[in-house]
Structure 1
Amino acid sequence: MANMTCYHCGDDCGRDKVRFDERDFCCHGCKTVYEIFTSNGLSNFYEIEAKAGNTPKEVRSKYDFLDNQEIVSKLVEFNEEGVQVINLSVPSIHCSSCIWVLENLNKLHPSISNSQVDFPKKTLRVTYSYVNFSLKGLVLMLSSIGYEPYISLDEYDKKEKRKDRSLIYKLGVAGFAFGNVMLLSFPEYFELPAGEAGVEEFWLEQYKPVFRWLMFAFSLPVVFYASQDYFISAYKGLRSKLLNIDVPIALGVLTLFLRSTVDIIFDLGSGFFDSLTGLIFFLLLGKFFQQRTYSFLSFERDYKSYFPIAVTRLNQDKSEENIQIYKVKVGDRLLIRSNEIIPVDCMLIKGSAQIDYSFVTGESQAVFKESGEKLFAGGKQLSGLLEVEVLKSVSQSYLTQLWGNSVFSKDKASAFQTLTDSIGKRFTAGVLTIATLATLFWLVYEPSMALNVFTAVLIIACPCAIALAAPFTLGNMLRIFGRQKLYLKNTNAIERLAKIDTAIFDKTGTLTTTKKDAILYEGVELTTEEIALLKTTLRASNHPLSRSLYGILQSNAIMTLDEFQEHTGKGIEGRANQHSIRIGSAGYVGRDSIQTSADTAVYVSSDDDFKGRFVFKNSYREGISTVFQSLGSSMQIGVLSGDNDGERKQLQKILPVRTQMHFNQKPEDKLQHIEHLQKEHKVLMVGDGLNDAGALAQSDVGIAVSEDINVFSPACDGILDASQFNKLSTFMELSRKSIQVIKMSFVLSLCYNLVGLYFAVTGQLQPVIAAILMPLSSISIVLFTTLMTNALGRKLNQPTN
């Protein structure tokens, strides 16, 4: 019996072959890959080449070094509790089909829990369990489906990423060929009249065929190398039943090449090789400009997107200093409080760590660590205070990945973004229809003009400018917002912010500032030991009231807690030397029957004996009245506070008349209130990122206000520096105007296309001129959106009243 080979990978099936869909597979893994491809319209994957899923032996042996765990530990970003996270460079990512396949790797192997593609950087971030899997297995699996990753230890050590220069190479080839074809075409342009000095006869007989075939030769690398991305993208789009903007471009190029080749073979003319090479050159030139401009914007975004997280650094004299995370250096000692994110890889020095790595892996089960063990960046300390020593400096790109981790992404897709995609698809369909009708007309009226008209229509009406309007407008506005200390997760957040019609605010730590609070104590005087235990307990908490109280207590006798507990929305408890202290609501400290006043206060009990309370005289942020007056004119305003209604009268003086205010709200009450409002409204939630995490995640846009200490949470869509709170209404206004800029760009692009289509359909536009005008229209859209958003951004620099 002949040996059966696997339809997917080409290996010998052996006796344990799997038969499915009238095909043989060597294992269930190959069968699963085949099922995924065929059930999602990707069966043409196997038409690219025979044995498309084959992993050659040389590929297998090439990655034997991944059996070395020391090497693996250097490559992975995260390695804890049976879970690893790796960021791989995959150069072969080039279309939407690639993204779909790579983001569904969990269907290929059960050990893979999450995979996320960064298309511009051509990288793949994979979270997987290494209990029954390995990095080598992952790499070989990717290679088997045609996505072999690029792994270089040398580049890893240098901390440099390999630059993709393929576009520059293609632009160089197209430019070289275009120049030479134009030079060889000069005799055709300046052809002398027949019979004049015998020059025409000599030219026809001796050099014209040679020059034409030379032009053909120069066009080959342009068509089959420089323009291959357009063909691949068009083919992949059609295969996935997507009509993308590269379809008309690929058709135009193919038509020009085939028509020109037929012309010179049958001596019908010189063809359009000059137009063909010029078209591709100018297309690539426009693409290069777009790529460089967008890379510049992305760089500024990355550079400005550090989160305003202040971590507490311990100096040599044991004093505490709040510093921003990008100033953290190797060897620094940091304090990590309850609910804080660990910003760096570090070594635990003091305290018992209870780490939630769900920000990294999606798994919420806590990991317990003792002194001397390593903690990875991205973990969240659930309870108590930690002292750690920094092993690696802050990796901003890593924090950015946490910020946009798909584990925490909700379906907050903007309808406007969907409209942009929809316009692009419909526009392409319309262009193909117009091109076909115009060509049919010219075939009847003047057949020699038909090809030029068809090609010119396809080129001039490419919807590139429409596709560029939204990303450039919103990308530039994202950068401007970052400069003004509003750090949004992505451009989608701007689109959603523009649709908000209801704004809900937390009170403590959001509307109020802890820097100017006046705090009074009422009750039995606390002993020195109780004050020391109280301050030590407050030291581990990030609640705004805890931070304010911690700052005014006069005690330097910081001790090590035996136990620390924080109950969200209720209070905190610390234990040391067989003594305990509780700080929080009256009910939490065991005084349900106490007559609470209208003031904001926290109550204290020591060893279960009630002691008294600290009364806070809140100070509201500067400019808050102006913000609410501005917001109240265009949307509904509401306040959700966990405190009592003692500040109701004060808030009524600040807030618009019809503002709804709800007090004594627990975190779950806030979430439910937001959920109820979303049935009829688009809701913005502004909180401090602590008790408001659920409401921030539930809202259409969640913004966390940061002051000295911020608990970074991917639940929110943006972080606003507290010093810029008075500009909140301006940020929202500019978000709406950004959408207007996009609509204006659509209109401008449509005007370009209508004028261009008129000249193209009437046969007055040569393909090479169309090729020049198309990237120019895209460039003009980029310049228009950049200038308009920069002009809008100047409003943020104006002083607010």
Structure 2
Amino acid sequence: MSTNDCYHCGDDCTATPLFFDEKTFCCNGCKTVYEIFSSNDLSYYYDLQSAAGSTPKVIEGKYDFLDTESIVERLAEFTDNHLQIVNLYIPNIHCSSCIWILENLNKLNPNISSSQVDFPKKMLRITYSTEKSSLKAIVLLLAHIGYEPYISLDDYDNKKKSIDRSLLYKLGIAGFAFGNVMFLSFPEYFDLSSNKTNGGDFWLNQYEGLFRWLMFSFSLPVVFYAGRDYFISAYKGLRSKLLNIDVPIALGILVLFIRSTLEIIFDWGPGFFDSLTGLVFFLLLGKFFQQKTYSFLSFERDYKSYFPIAVTKILPNGTEETTQIHTIKKGDRLLLRNEELIPVDGILITGNGKIDYSFVTGESEPVYKNSGDKIFAGGKQLHGAIEMEALKTVSQSYLTQLWSNAVFQEDKTSKFQTITDSIGKRFTIFVLSIAFTATAFWLFYDSSKALNVFTAVLIIACPCAIALASPFTLGNMLRIFGRNKFYLKDTQTIEQLAQIDTAIFDKTGTITTAKKSTATYEGLELTEEEESLLKNTLRASNHPLSRSLYDLLSAQNIVTLDEFEEHVGKGIFGASNNSEIKVGSASFVGKENQNKIEHTAVHISSNSAYKGCYIFKNQYRAGISELFKAMSETIQVAILSGDNEGEKKRLEALLPKLTPLYFNQKPEHKLQFIKSLQEQGKKVMMVGDGLNDAGALAQSNVGIAISENVTIFSPACDGILDATKFEELYSYILASKKAMKIIKWSFVLSLAYNAVGLYFAITGQLEPVIAAILMPLSSISIVAFTTIATNILGKKLK
């Protein structure tokens, strides 16, 4: 950096230089930011990239409107007691140093507990304490360090921001320049300079030089505006010691421009400005096609693949009805049971709210709410049943964001290398090696062809088609799975699903269905008060057996429990009007010496006195035998159940011979079992009901939660399968494997194209403009192949 450049922002400051700490600054704003960073031990910011900042603007009074509480409430994503979360659009985010400083805001303001950057969207998510700071103070801090947020009326009205049209502008400029350069190149194409009888001397003397310099002029905005993203990406990759796919593209553009400029300066020839502008135009056209197609796929998935979570709506006549959450309207009265997710913002009406907002804020301490308090979407009720009134309709996109929230993302995917990651670096090295080797050969054999060969190789062997194969294939499969009621968290889950070699299934609520279960009672008769307390205690629970028994019992008056506790894997406890009841396993209710029962049983004790048990006759899901038989041919399968061995003989008759069956497994046992399999090198899929199996779902390589009517939401799972599609689970796994084959075939097609093109490029027979046209066409053909192939694969799914 020049000594006359500002140390913070890089602007020229020869007119009014300021000196501080042996460094030069263009204004007090940049000097102040440097002082802030230095005093807070954040000077590493400048090591990431020199002159990375931007000049802070004077903003006195600009954000006074943020003192208005109603405006802040509309802008905030989450507000509760002392905590607030806000998403801000930061246009100045442009490099790794920006990300680093913005994710270390807590060092500048200790009242900020966390800040996360979404670099592609240039969004900053900030969690801060409202007791010691405010949104205005945080916005002013951001503005003072050069990252002023853009806050508009659209944010206040919760509307989406306008679409970034920069790619469209670049495509337009490149297309305009390409067309004009081609037009100006016609005399060169027809070689008028050698045709003296048709005015060749006139062309040669009068206009040849003018036309060539006009072509040079048209190429400038193409290279330095339309094509700059390739240079920036290549530079950042090389600076990070990473060879990305934009390196050979940037090299091709740069070499073409320099060679063409030298040719017209020294009058060696017309240059390759038509090839250059054509290359950038078709590259941008391919990128535009990719952006439009992939955004369509993403939109279609976001719209259709809502979470299959239902909620209980209380009708005006007091009856309860199960409804899909996307039908919730403002004013609806909802019943939320223990461990259920709050689907919309609302007001707590009855019940004791003990709400876990860790999904939203990352803080594990539950928040206690009383009647009349506001509760927010994304929280999870932890203490019995509550009733609430919806204040707005559900936002599926918010739940999608919640599912992928980095707050509870673990290292499951960080250790997993995608197929594109594994091939991209090798391919780039391969291309550059061929380019330099071929160039060295032609420099020795015929130096006049060396530059042409070098540029042709870099253009024809660009790995863009390979980079497109995976996102288009997996993105389309994500949409197809969603259409078939199999909802996956992200595209990486498909790749991991294709590698599964072991499948572990829970029993109750997973391979059994609660819809057709029957139960008989054995024991002392329950009093009317005990029946009412039992019914209301079951009403607050989400366990499959609780739901089944609740539906089987006769209607009772709804009462609010004084106490409710759910002990995962053991049972539930409820208390009202000095009466207590326990429902669950025999040991949980205090019946240790019970007779051995050969069926699934739910035991009951009232005021510490054992009353009896409900014996269930399990109803297994349709097609379970066929599913396990087909799956066991290629995948090791096993059953892990928390129940006793009462169903062992029946399961042995239903499942393939020698299928491992494990009973009396507590949640922690399931987790350890999966861990031990993974230590043996197994790729494990866990299929559970999402309640008792949360730990096992999180530990597995792929965790699938089965959804049936009302279910709890667990971000520990990687996918949610509608219970009606349970028998199709293996076909989804096979489809994932076939999707990976489609990607590999796409690689083969791309490599075949490159092999043919490289032959002509290396031998000096390939014109750069033809290569510039063929390359984006190859990308489009790969996209077409993957889209058609995945759609055919999708039609085969039932």
Aligned-partner Cα distance in 1 for 2:795–2:495: 20
Quote the offset at 1:68 in angstroms.
3.7
Contact 1:94 1:233 in 2 (8 A): no
Per-residue CA deviations over 1:760-791 (Å, capped at 9, x if unaligned) read 11111111111111111111111111122222
Cα root mean square deviation, aligned: 2.6
What is aligned with 1:33?
Answer: 42
Quote the offset at 1:596 in angstroms.
3.6
Aligned-partner Cα distance in 2 for 1:142–1:716: 36
* Greater Cα shift, 140-149 or 380-389: 140-149
* Greater Cα shift, 111-120 or 657-666: 111-120
Relative distance call for 1:731 and 1:363 in structure 2 (3 A) is same
Per-residue CA deviations over 1:39-77 (Å, capped at 9, x if unaligned) read xxxxxxxxx998643552325654443344432221121
Contact 1:84 1:128 in 2 (8 A): yes
What is aligned with 2:703?
Answer: 702
* Greater Cα shift, 245-254 or 438-447: 438-447
Q: Which AA in structure 2 matches 1:731?
A: Y
Q: Any residues of structure 2 matched to 1:172-571 within 5 Å, and which?
A: 172-192=172-192, 194=194, 196-197=196-197, 199-413=199-413, 417-571=417-571
Contact 2:71 2:156 in 1 (8 A): no
Matched, 1:125 2:140: no
Per-residue CA deviations over 1:629-684 (Å, capped at 9, x if unaligned) read 01111121111111111000001112222222111111111111111111111111
Q: Any residues of structure 2 matched to 1:74-223 within 5 Å, and which?
A: 74-92=74-92, 111-140=111-140, 142=142, 147-157=147-157, 159-192=159-192, 194=194, 196-197=196-197, 199-223=199-223
Q: Which AA in structure 2 matches 1:675?
A: K
SS of residue matched to 1:601: strand
Relative distance call for 1:208 and 1:402 in structure 2 (3 A) is same
Contact 1:513 1:618 in 2 (8 A): yes
Per-residue CA deviations over 1:436-495 (Å, capped at 9, x if unaligned) read 222222233333322221111111111111111111111111111111111110111111
Contact 1:348 1:374 in 2 (8 A): yes
Matched, 1:792 2:796: no
SS of residue matched to 1:242: coil
Per-residue CA deviations over 1:185-223 (Å, capped at 9, x if unaligned) read 112222335473471221122111211111111111111
Quote the offset at 1:690 in angstroms.
0.8
Q: Any residues of structure 2 matched to 1:637-648 within 5 Å, and which?
A: 637-648=637-648
Contact 1:89 1:124 in 2 (8 A): yes
What is aligned with 1:43?
Answer: none
SS of residue matched to 2:575: strand
Contact 1:5 1:11 in 2 (8 A): no
Q: Any residues of structure 2 matched to 1:555-704 within 5 Å, and which?
A: 555-680=555-680, 681-704=682-705
Contact 2:452 2:768 in 1 (8 A): yes
Aligned-partner Cα distance in 2 for 1:475–1:374: 37
SS of residue matched to 1:796: coil
Aligned-partner Cα distance in 2 for 1:472–1:323: 34
Identical aligned residues as a percent: 65
Aligned-partner Cα distance in 1 for 2:45–2:273: 42
What is aligned with 1:21?
Answer: none
Q: Which AA in structure 2 matches 1:757?
A: L
Contact 1:11 1:54 in 2 (8 A): no
Aligned-partner Cα distance in 2 for 1:181–1:223: 14
Contact 1:32 1:108 in 2 (8 A): no
Quote the offset at 1:3 in angstroms.
7.0
What is aligned with 1:736?
Answer: 737
Question: If the length of structure 2 is used for normalisation, what is the TM-score?
Answer: 0.93
Relative distance call for 1:49 and 1:214 in structure 2 (3 A) is farther
* Greater Cα shift, 246-255 or 283-292: 246-255
Contact 2:570 2:584 in 1 (8 A): yes
Contact 2:49 2:97 in 1 (8 A): no
Aligned-partner Cα distance in 1 for 2:324–2:172: 45
Contact 2:359 2:378 in 1 (8 A): yes
Relative distance call for 1:647 and 1:162 in structure 2 (3 A) is same
Structure 2 unaligned residues grouped into runs of 5+: 1-16
Quote the offset at 1:85 in angstroms.
2.2
Relative distance call for 1:495 and 1:51 in structure 2 (3 A) is closer
Q: Which AA in structure 1 matches 2:720?
A: I
Aligned-partner Cα distance in 2 for 1:105–1:630: 54
Contact 2:111 2:129 in 1 (8 A): yes
SS of residue matched to 2:317: coil
Q: Which AA in structure 2 matches 1:778?
A: S
How many aligned positions are there? 780
Structure 1 unaligned residues grouped into runs of 5+: 19-24, 39-47
SS of residue matched to 1:307: coil
* Greater Cα shift, 78-87 or 62-71: 62-71
Aligned-partner Cα distance in 2 for 1:174–1:398: 38
Aligned-partner Cα distance in 1 for 2:463–2:91: 26
Quote the offset at 1:244 in angstroms.
0.9
SS of residue matched to 1:299: helix
Contact 1:4 1:12 in 2 (8 A): no
